[in-house]
Structure 1
Amino acid sequence: MKTLFTWFGQADVDGMNQDTDSPISNIALKHPEPFDQIVIISNKWEEERRNYVPWLEKKLAIAQRPFQVVQGHTVSITSPIDYVSISKQSQKWINKLSSESDELYINLTSGSPAMSAVSIILGKGKTNTYFYQSNRQREIFLDDIPFDFVAEHDASVARAISSKATKLPTNNKAFEDIIAVSPPMLEVVNKASKLAPLDLPVLVLGETGTGKEVISNAIHKASSRASQPMKTVNCGALPQNLVDSILFGHVKGAFTGAVKEHKGVFEQADGGTLFLDEVGELSLDVQVKLLRALQQGEITRVGDDKTITVDVRVIAATHRNLVGMVECGEFREDLFYRLALGVIEIPPLRNRVEDIEPLVNALAKEINDNAQKHQNYKSKIISNKGMKFTLSQPWRGNIRELWSTLNRALLLSDNDEIFDLDIQNALINRENKQQDHDIHLAYGDVVNLKQIIENIEKKYVEAALKATGNGRVKSAEMLSLGNHQNLRNMMKRLKMISENEPEK
């Protein structure tokens, strides 16, 4: 499909009033092949543009060209020289038309210089986009515009880097609050900082409590959309009967209770970022509607027949195994690949032990600062024993569990220093139930059942000892062994200690 995209300008108004060719009509009539679609946008002269559409259709019909291909749209910009609002509207239309067209032609003659400049910058980034100009002699010509914006931008950046090479380094403020000391977390931050300016959809994976929303917020703040809103939707909490309204909005009277017009989160996030938290909880019906909005960049409010174009970057997060859900038919494969252009997997806290101590110090400081407002509160520090015990725990609830535990320990203690016993008392004990897994053996398979059982026992003993700081009495209680002597006997049997080890 061949598409002509153009702003509506004064020269086009004059051409219509004088019934002579204007820049838009020149290109539409003289392009070697007829256009399948002509899209005209304007921020003023709405009445004139409405008259221009049938006038141009008549010209095309006389020239025996397809004429029912012209469409006009009113857009909102601050002024003909406001680059921000012009860029916002131009980006919407150029992205949309480029994606649905084989060839996109942009008219640079109509509209203001700012409109032309923005169209060139945006259009040069599309491989299927070309530029037309029309002169006063009513000639049209394709403008190659040999300027390489990417190369010039890279050269400018390189010069800026060189000029600042001797200055002190500064942190990326978007990521400076994220504690990353361990190699896995440093890799996460590095990857996120690279994805942030690329404007791609991002899928953030990780267990509950690992900080998926924190990294998503940082990506937004480090992106070109930082000045625009970031809206969050908890996909697991979307009521089935209100999904369409929450995502896409509704008009007054669309349904019982719709007493006024409402913008959905896609419109609210227009120009910015939409964070879809727990996207794995969406039903298949909702996934279909979401995919359509993401693919087409268009939404329709409930009860309305007007299509609204939106420019939204989507960051989705989930603790669920989306690949497994795709294989089971619980999550649409096309939606998965639409979201997973950039993938970040945040490691659980137990796999980033180096981060725990700085995390504890940062969280303790925040708790102390917040609690200082209470008259009788005394600030506290974490003792070496308290820190050692904290490092030994698995933190299955990740940072969220660590945060809650530290709050209980600091707020409930009357001491100036927090010890291991304070952390122990602040922990919420959970029964570690093991899931039963089906065992499948083929005829002739051989397994060493005794060795399997011993390996499992050994792992649990090691985990209990780590959690208690090698305290055998408490470890025996954790393992339901009755007393420490039974634990000692088991450790001998498993060859974890020597037969001759003296009893402690």
Structure 2
Amino acid sequence: MATLLSWLGRTDLDRAKDDRLASIATIALKGSVLDEVIILASTWEDEWHDYRDWLKKKLTLAGRSKTSIVIQRVRLLSPIDYSSITKVMHKQLDAVCANSDKVYLNLTSGTPAMAAVSVLLGKGIVKCQLVQTSPQGEIIEVDIPIDFAAEYKKSSSSAISQLASQNPALNSAFNAITAKSELMHDVIRKAQKLAYSDLPALILGESGVGKEVMATAIHKASQRSDKPFRAVNCGALPENLVDSILFGHVKGAFTGAHKDHAGLFEQADGGTLFLDEVGELPLNIQVKLLRALQQKEITRVGDVDTNSVDVRIIAATHQDLFSMTADGSFREDLFYRLAVGVIEVPPLRKRKEDIPELINTFMLEINRQAENHPLFGCKEISEHAIKFAASYSWPGNIRELWNTLHRAVLWSEDDCISVDELKSSILSSDKEIVSQKGFSIPGDITQHIDNIKKNYVIQALEMASHNKSKAAELLGLNSHQTLNNWIKTLLIEEK
């Protein structure tokens, strides 16, 4: 099947009125026999019908009556707006190439912007032949002696090498993320590279690890930072309203729709939309999300027209999307569309070096809030409590740590939160970590052992009236020199 795809030009319409050929008619009548002529038009709608009838009559007289003619209405911001022209041409070329063995792309009709976009998109399609016509009615097959793919590869390789050699510092947008551990440093470096691109992103990680904080940082570090950032938890959306919340609705679309409503996609136009727990979306909404990603178009509930949107999607989930695609509960094509840039935020138990810094940051914020409450004062947290926190697994991750510190500040009677008060503030179901068979795990096992040794040394010295040889015997030590070493190591004051 051979197809001619062309923009409609003013010259095509004017010459047809005088029964003269312009570019579209010349290619359709004098070039290779075509099965279909698709003409893209955004203006002069009142003249389309007459032009189509005239061209159909010309084709019939030329013995090409089987060629069908379609004038396709498209929406452009203006005939020189590259963004909207590119979206339309990209969509039309995808559809035409899927159904045709040979596609002729006319460069003569339409504006220079339309011709430029046609060259850029058509050059990379094997089955696409660029054609134009001369003022004398000649058909010229256009061969542009530039390998766009090779030039892009050369340019991108150079840019990547330059970025690698510069080893740029972390963007300030990531300052809100605590990263003392090397593991988190690696995660943030990847996130920064992803932020500088405009690719869809998928953030993986357990519940409470800070996926929305990471998404916010990626947005703030991107070129869309001055545009809207919208976030929604897909698992919390009512099933009967999820379509409307994401894509909007028109007045009268359903009971209670008293006026037009712009969904989150339109609200985030030009910026970023964060879809937390994306695995909770129903399959029918996943289809619409895929279309929004591929075509950059959405349709409001109850509407027949589509709206163009320019939104970067950052999705997140704690679920295993690989398993969900295998069992059919999550679309495989949507998964691979989202999983272009993947960031996995590690659980808190794998980044223990970050816990003391997180505690200090959280305590500052909690104390700042407490200043405004007449019944609460500022609290500190003991070193033993911090060491315990660093040893605990925190199954609820950063969210659990934050809430535990809040409870500890609330219930502590002293100015300094002890390790016991911190332990008692944990509500985790993972109780065997905190207490198992009556045994309470200390925050630092070495420190705990030293405390036990210190207590027994002091008691032995007192029972032996500070005779070190007798005290060593009571403790079962080989000599008083060993006891002397313990006294120095344990910082015991001698009397």
Deviation of 1:420 after TM superposition, in Å, equals 4.4
* Residues 1:169 and 1:335: Cα distance change in structure 2 (over 3 Å): closer
Distance 1:266 1:177, change over 3 A: same
How many Å separate the matches in 2 of 1:148 and 1:463?
71
C-alpha distance in 2 between matches for 1:414 and 1:246: 46
Q: Is the 8 A contact 2:41 2:73 kept in 1?
A: yes
Q: In the alignment, does 2:310 pair up with 1:315?
A: no
Aligned to 1:14: 14
Cα separation, 2, equivalents of 1:227 and 1:106 = 38
| 1:282 to 1:124, Cα distance in 2 relative to 1, 3 A | same
Equivalent residue, structure 2, for 1:430: 428
Tell me the secondary structure at the aligned position of residue 146 of structure 2: coil
Give RMSD over aligned pairs: 4.6
Which residue of the partner structure matches residue 283 of structure 1?
Answer: 282
What residue in structure 2 maps to residue 64 of structure 1? 65
Pairwise CA distance, 1:206 = 1.1
Could you report, residue by residue, the CA deviation over 1:345-365 in whole angstroms, capped at 9, with x for unpaired residues? Answer: 221111122333443444455
What is the TM-score with the length of structure 1 in the denominator?
0.69
1:394, distance to aligned residue in structure 2 (A): 1.8
- What is the distance in 1 between the residues matched to 2:430 and 2:165? 55
My pick for the range that moved more, 125-134 or 248-257, is 125-134
1:441-463: CA deviations, max 9, x gaps? xxxxxxxxxxxxxxxx9x96899
Q: CA shift at 1:398, angstroms?
A: 1.5
Q: How does 1:234-383 map to 2 (within 5 A)?
A: 234-270=233-269, 272-291=271-290, 294=293, 298-308=297-307, 310=309, 312-364=311-363
Provide structure 1 residue ranges, at least 5 long, that are not aligned to the other structure. 435-456, 474-499
Give the equivalent residue in structure 2 for 1:214.
Answer: 213
Determine if contact 2:103/2:128 at 8 Å carries over to the other structure: yes
Identity %: 50
**5+ residue gaps, structure 2:** 450-474, 478-495
Alignment size in residue pairs:
446
What is the CA-CA distance between 1:291 and the residue it aligns to? Answer: 4.5
Compared with structure 1, are the counterparts of its residues 430 and 134 closer, same or farther at alpha carbon in structure 2 (3 Å cutoff)? same
2:441 is aligned with 1:465: yes
Could you tell me which residue of structure 2 aligns to residue 451 of structure 1? none
Question: Which secondary structure does the structure 1 equivalent of 2:240 belong to?
Answer: helix
Amino acid corresponding to residue 20 of structure 2 in structure 1 = T
Q: CA deviation at 1:196?
A: 4.5
Counterpart-to-counterpart distance in 2, 1:280 and 1:376: 43
1: distance between equivalents of 2:228 and 2:52?
35
Is the 1:465–1:471 Cα contact (8 Å) retained in structure 2?
no
Q: Tell me the equivalent position of 2:76.
A: 75
Q: Distance in 1 between matches of 2:166 and 2:325?
A: 49
Q: 1:41, 1:201 → 2: CA distance?
A: 31
State the AA in 2 paired with 1:74. R
Which residue of structure 2 lines up, in the alignment, with residue 92 of structure 1? 87
The residue type equivalent to 2:204 in the other structure is: L
* C-alpha distance in structure 2 between counterparts of 1:413 and 1:150, whole Å: 65
Question: Structure 1's 190 and 161: CA in aligned 2 closer, same or farther, altered over 3 A?
Answer: closer
For structure 1, which segment, 376-385 or 229-238, has the greater mean C-alpha deviation from structure 2 after superposition?
376-385
Does the 8 Å CA contact 2:251/2:258 hold for their aligned counterparts? Answer: yes
For 1:314-346, what per-residue CA distance to the aligned partner results, in whole angstroms no more than 9, with x for missing partners? 332111222333444433444434433443322
Greater shift in the superposed pair: 155-164 or 260-269: 155-164
Aligned partner of 2:40 in structure 1 is: 40
Counterpart Cα distance in 2 of 1:349 and 1:18: 77
- Are the counterparts in 1 of residues 4 and 38 from structure 2 also a CA contact under 8 Å? yes
1:69 deviates by 2.9
Q: Deviations over 1:2-53 (max 9, x none)?
A: 66554444434433444433334444445525264625143x5454557655
Give the counterpart letter for 2:400 in structure 1: E
- Structure-2 residue corresponding to 1:112: 111
Mapping of 1:150-169 within 5 angstroms?
152=151, 169=168
What is the TM-score of this pair, normalised by structure 2? 0.71
1:278 Cα deviation (Å)?
A: 0.9
> Any idea what the Cα deviations from partners look like across 1:392-419, whole Å, max 9, x if unmatched?
222222122233344555688898x865
**In the alignment, is the contact (CA less than 8 A) between 2:202 and 2:314 conserved in 1?**
yes
CA contact 2:229–2:273 (8 Å) conserved in 1: yes
1:157 is displaced (CA, Å) by: 6.8
Contact 1:92–1:310 (8 Å) recurs in 2 = no
Residues in 1 aligned to 2:165 and 2:334: alpha-carbon distance in whole angstroms: 46
CA distance in 1 between counterparts of 2:93 and 2:300 reads 24
Closer/same/farther in 2, CA of residues 424 and 147 from structure 1, 3 Å limit: same
- Answer with 1 or 2: which has the greater Rg: 2
Q: Helix, strand or coil: the match of 1:92?
A: helix
Larger deviation, residues 405-414 vs 306-315: 405-414
CA–CA separation in structure 1 for the residues paired with 2:236 and 2:124:
39
Measure the CA separation in 1 of the matches of 2:378 and 2:2: 69
In the TM superposition, residue 236 of structure 1 has moved relative to its aligned partner by 1.2
